[in-house]
Amino acid sequence: MSSPPLPPIKTLTPVPDDDDGDEIIKYEYFVQFEPAAYYRPYHEALKLMMPYWRNKGEYSHEEASDLLKQVYNHLAPSIAQLENENLIDS
């Protein structure tokens, strides 16, 4: 299983100001974010689900339930990390 994704890093960065007489420092809010690392667990979960999605009639209810448990177990660490970082609500 892959490691949980890195949440976006939120930073305030000072913005250079052309007006030298202004004493207020201006800041802009940036989010440093690596989409590939963040979405990798979800991509893997979709790969687990695609065979079922294409052939739903060939799976029993127990097999579908087992597949959903695998997907949940795969995503649980990522979901927990996002909840801890207050990036999502459960």
For the chain, the domains span: 9-84
| Helix (H) or strand (E) run with residue 51 in it | helix 35-54
Arithmetic mean of pLDDT over the chain: 72
Of 12, 14, 34, 33, nearest to 24 by C-alpha is: 14
Is the pLDDT assigned to residue 1 strictly greater than 50?
no
Instruction: Pick 35 or 51 by higher pLDDT.
Output: 51
**49: three-class secondary structure by DSSP:** helix
Predicted TM-score of the model (pTM): 0.47
Count Cβ atoms within 10 A of the Cβ of residue 78 and give its class: 0-12 exposed, 13-18 middle, 19 or more buried. Answer: buried
